[in-house]
Structure 1
Amino acid sequence: MDSLQLTRCSINTATLGHREPIDVSIDRIAKAGFGGLAPWRHEVEAADVSKIAKQIRALDLKVTGYCRSTYFPASTREQRLANVQSNVRALNDAAELGAKCFVMVVGGLPEGSRDLSAARMQVQDGIAALLQEARNLAVPLAIEPLHPMYAGERSVVNTIDQAQAIARELDPHNDGFLGFAVDVYHCWWDPQLEGALTSIGNENRILAYHVSDWLAPTTDLLLDRGMMGDGVIDLKRFRQSVENAGYAGMVEVEIFSRDNWWNLPPDLVLQTCAERLQSVC
């Protein structure tokens, strides 16, 4: 397996801790030699979307994904409709940015609910309501399965197999606008992983590939992701599996690290990402 070239690598801006305005982060990422980035909505929405889009194009960067969806489940029909409309607005921004996909972290149980099946149906209904707009704007939707520890509050879609079942139900003919973001942090543990990757690869639904590492022990379930090579995930094997499944897109670094990497100079973080992508991924 060949070593990764930085031009084939992307930086999710969360990796830099959201400490600087988005235009500063974009310049840093380009200067460090990466080929792409994945910005977050709150950063873009705090700026001028059209100016950010022009800056990205001028630097010849690819937008590997736009993060992330408003959660779909809610206690009332009105709030569920409002959540869909929030996602429509974000899809329009994703289109202006030229994003390869709109990353969907779908949401957990509504407040006070214990009905997991109902929450999952709300997710499916929400994605269905968004799918035609995605086609209209030519921005594919990428369901990102999250580790089961997040089922209560962040995502009731926890395996690739679950996500695939939703995609097959809503998009049986697979016109290219409903697929998946595969994140090693969330999927590395799955005993069905190899078969699941092969299956979604055969359907050409892998839209994004995210890397970080799982620290053992971890001190925070959200904000203690590891730099690649510092944890227990076999990242080379994982990339080989993703590429064997047909994925030829960019490799995106997404690290949430409140007590470690977010406290270090951004340029050092980017330099370390570059080194680790080329040595352990």
Structure 2
Amino acid sequence: MNAVPDVTLNNGVTIPQLGFGTFQIPPAETRKATLTALESGYRHIDTAEMYGNEKEVGEAIRDSGIDRDDIFVTSKLNNQFHKAPDARAAFDRSLEDLGLAHIDLFLIHWPRPKSGNFVEAWQTLEEIYRSGRVRAIGVSNFQPHHLRRLLENSVIVPAVNQVEVHPYLTQDEVRAFNTEHDIATEAWSPLAKGMVLNDPVVVRIANDIGRTPAQVTLRWALQRGDIVFPKSVTRERVQENLGLFDFELGEADIAEIAALNRDERTGPDPDNNG
């Protein structure tokens, strides 16, 4: 099994830098895919109520036979539950669906600046954190102006900000803000839904070092310090995505991949999503 390094969050909790994502994996396929990931060596699983597959993730964790304390589980607060009573109920529901006594990391899924109230949601997550039922709390898809407002109205600094990051959307401003405030950056859609895998620069670097374009792209993200969690439902790809820790990219390769940035999103703009 490849040795996946840990990242220490701002409250001392450690999280594996490479995880397994379950976004857009249908519930009927989630148990098998998650079990495959765990059997292959992953110990970090990312899910959300919005994905509709928390129950199946929980089943895979139990069926794996792996000690619960050895698996890091992330879930997220769904968009319509920013009000305090709704956020409390949503967290309880995620715990129940996962079948777990605690969640390792719980995130506000989207800021929803037009219709939500992420400050109220965050203050509720702080309350849940103090209860001991979650080991760390954070946010997802927050831009610096969202984070500034949150920090002005909170006690706890988010442990994580999970945002879309890949070579076509390097998110330098967001990542710099995160670093300044000791917030770990997690990269969702690290392969840009597969778009970067045919990029001539990525393909050339992969050919030069005898790796796949996916491995090169994921390794680029890891060497920049991001936490990544690619997803796949095929055992071969799941295992391929784990093979990232027996090689390194050179500084020139990292810079050349970063230069591919064109601020192109594959998902919604956080300022316009709700």
Q: TM-score, normalised by structure 1?
A: 0.57
Mapping of residues 82-101 of structure 1, within 5 Å: 83-90=86-93, 92-93=95-96, 96=100, 98-101=102-105
Mapping of residues 110-125 of structure 1, within 5 Å: 116=114, 119=115, 122-125=117-120
- Pair 46,64 (structure 1): closer, same or farther in 2 beyond 3 Å: closer
Mapping of residues 43-62 of structure 1, within 5 Å: 43-45=53-55, 54-55=62-63, 58=66, 62=70
Q: 1:240 & 1:197 partners in 2: Cα distance? A: 16
Any idea what the Cα deviations from partners look like across 1:116-172, whole Å, max 9, x if unmatched?
A: 3xx36x121222233202320341222012xxxxxxxxxxx3x2x235324422433
Residue 253 of structure 1 corresponds to 229
Q: How many angstroms does 1:216 deviate by?
A: 8.7
Residue 104 of structure 1 corresponds to 108
Residue 161 of structure 2 corresponds to 181
Residue 130 of structure 1 corresponds to 125
Q: Check conservation: 2:47, 2:74, Cα contact below 8 A.
A: yes
List gaps (5 residues or longer) in structure 1.
75-79, 110-115, 146-156, 219-227, 244-250, 256-260
- Pair 229,106 (structure 1): closer, same or farther in 2 beyond 3 Å: same
Q: 1:90 & 1:135 partners in 2: Cα distance? A: 18
Q: 1:210 & 1:58 partners in 2: Cα distance? A: 25
Mapping of residues 179-218 of structure 1, within 5 Å: 179-185=159-165, 188-201=169-182, 205-206=183-184, 208=186, 210=188, 212-214=190-192
Q: How many angstroms does 1:60 deviate by?
A: 6.0
Any idea what the Cα deviations from partners look like across 1:211-260, whole Å, max 9, x if unmatched?
A: 62226969xxxxxxxxx9459x96555434437xxxxxxx44144xxxxx
Q: Match for 2:148: what amino acid?
A: A
Q: How many angstroms does 1:105 deviate by?
A: 0.9
Q: Match for 2:129: what amino acid?
A: A
Q: 1:181 & 1:194 partners in 2: Cα distance? A: 9
2:34 paired with 1:66: no
Q: Identity of paired residues, percent?
A: 6
List gaps (5 residues or longer) in structure 2.
6-15, 197-211, 250-274
Residue 43 of structure 2 corresponds to 35
Residue 142 of structure 1 corresponds to 138
Q: 1:167 & 1:81 partners in 2: Cα distance? A: 15
- What value does the CA root-mean-square deviation take over the aligned residues? 4.2
Residue 275 of structure 1 corresponds to 243
Residue 150 of structure 1 corresponds to none
Residue 11 of structure 1 corresponds to 20
- Pair 6,15 (structure 1): closer, same or farther in 2 beyond 3 Å: farther
Q: How many angstroms does 1:71 deviate by?
A: 0.8
Q: 2:140 & 2:228 partners in 1: Cα distance? A: 13
Aligned residues: 217
Q: How many angstroms does 1:59 deviate by?
A: 5.1
Q: How many angstroms does 1:273 deviate by?
A: 1.4
Residue 223 of structure 1 corresponds to none
Q: Check conservation: 2:19, 2:42, Cα contact below 8 A.
A: yes
Q: How many angstroms does 1:70 deviate by?
A: 1.3
- Pair 100,210 (structure 1): closer, same or farther in 2 beyond 3 Å: farther
Q: 1:91 & 1:44 partners in 2: Cα distance? A: 7
Any idea what the Cα deviations from partners look like across 1:16-39, whole Å, max 9, x if unmatched?
A: 5544252x3343112212233224
Q: Match for 1:20: what amino acid?
A: E
- Pair 88,14 (structure 1): closer, same or farther in 2 beyond 3 Å: closer
Q: 1:217 & 1:229 partners in 2: Cα distance? A: 11
Residue 200 of structure 2 corresponds to none
- Pair 277,193 (structure 1): closer, same or farther in 2 beyond 3 Å: farther
